[in-house]
Amino acid sequence: MAAITAGYAIDLHTHSLRSDGALSPAELVKRAAARGVKIQALSDHDTLAGIAEATATGESLGVRIIPATELNTESEWGDAHVLGYFIDPQDAALEDRLRWLRENRGRRIELMVGNLNALGYAVDLVRVLEIAQGGALGRPHLAQALFEKGYVKSYDAAFDTLLAKDSPAYVARVGLSPIEAVTLVREHGGVPSLAHPGTVLGLDELLPELVAVGLAGIEAYYGEHTPEMTARCLDRARTLDLVPTGGSDFHGRGDHGTDLGGVFVPPETIERLESRRGRA
């Protein structure tokens, strides 16, 4: 991983080992603190498991942790991921729904391991589970296993070839639609924001449908966005009354990507998001 240099104070999109990140929640928050982050959302996929540890570490290092989760959806809209902020990490009913999503993740990864094996790639499910260390399973764990075995030239390259949607090894997700994801976050008192809108197909058709069920934010500030994509998101935020959010989407895997606190997020974002609690 790259050396630690200074970043910005707010990061509303980060992942730990409780899902597909490489660092434990404590290590992640320590790294964020060392980068100068003061407010961090832990947004692990389909789990609340890291929030208590992140919050405890944050308290000792002066980092406010916003409890969050990221719901990756399955639909004709491409990669529409929904971030849910200010959820309650003790919410048992929400945890039930997330457990179902994690079980589906496990079955999907098992099926993909089977497909890879049938194609001649000898990745071992036991090794994939070791890499995940009990976190919500995802393609990043498979990417790591493929890379270790030398089947791809880099961790990131696995996503362009063997793990891509058009690969014969690919298995679709069983899960929520984008509308169901926004609704789930709202039903549990959270504030939903659409993650990295550049990966959505038909963004301008989808956005009004999500706003109708309570979408409150749009991730305008994102490392992989072009200036045009950021401007487009800011424009949609204005016309649809959405709060522009932003974050690194740091996973700590692969060679590239944005480091913690790597994108500027305006300080008023937190207050604006908080004001949308309970108001769809």
Contacts of residue 230, defined as CB under 8 A and 6 or more positions apart, other chains included, come to: 220, 221, 222
Task: List, in sequence order, every residue forming a beta bridge with 17; answer none if it has no partner.
Answer: none
Residue 276 partner contact from Zn ion, Fe ion, ligand AMP, none using kind-dependent CB cut-offs of 5 to 8 Å = none
Tokens of 188: 């549990």
Among 198, 247, 254, 262, binds ligand AMP (CB under 6 A): 254
CB nearer to Fe ion: give 94 or 195.
195
CB of 103 to Fe ion, least distance (A): 18
DSSP string computed for 86-144: S--TT-HHHHHHHHHHHHHHHHHHHHHHHHHHHTT----HHHHHHHHTTSPP-HHHHHH
Piece in contact with ligand AMP (CB under 6 A), picked from 137-145, 200-208, 230-238, 267-275: 137-145
Residue 20 as a binder of Fe ion (CB under 5 A): the answer is: yes
DSSP string computed for 214-261: T--EEEEEETT--HHHHHHHHHHHHHHT-EEEEE--B-S-SS-SPPTT
Helix (H, G, I), strand (E, B) or coil at 272: helix
CB of 184 to ligand AMP, least distance (A): 16
Residue 20 as a binder of Zn ion (CB under 5 A): the answer is: no
CB nearer to ligand AMP: give 258 or 269.
258
Cα–Cα distance for residue pair 156/161, rounded to 1 Å: 10
Residue 11 partner contact from Fe ion, Zn ion, ligand AMP, none using kind-dependent CB cut-offs of 5 to 8 Å = none
CB nearer to ligand AMP: give 257 or 266.
257
Give residues 49-78 in contact with ligand AMP (rule: CB under 6 A).
72
Residue 251 as a binder of ligand AMP (CB under 6 A): the answer is: yes
Calculate helix-pair angle for 203-212, 227-240, nearest 10 degrees.
30
Among 11, 74, 95, 249, binds Zn ion (CB under 5 A): 249
Among 132, 142, 195, 273, binds Fe ion (CB under 5 A): 195
Cα–Cα distance for residue pair 133/18, rounded to 1 Å: 8
Residue 159 as a binder of ligand AMP (CB under 6 A): the answer is: yes
Nearest-Å Rg of the Cα atoms of the chain is 18
Among 27, 91, 110, 156, binds ligand AMP (CB under 6 A): 156
Contacts of residue 25, defined as CB under 8 A and 6 or more positions apart, other chains included, come to: 16, 17, 18, 42, 50, 51, 53, 54, 57
CB of 156 to Zn ion, least distance (A): 15
Which residue, among 159, 2, 182, has the nearest Cα to 77 in the 3D structure?
A: 182
Piece in contact with Zn ion (CB under 5 A), picked from 63-71, 181-189, 213-221, 252-260: 63-71
The separation between the first and the last C-alpha atoms of the chain, rounded to the nearest angstrom, is 40
CB of 70 to Zn ion, least distance (A): 5
CB nearer to ligand AMP: give 254 or 262.
254
Contacts with ligand AMP by CB under 6 A lie at 20, 72, 138-140, 156, 159, 251, 254
Contacts with Zn ion by CB under 5 A lie at 70, 249
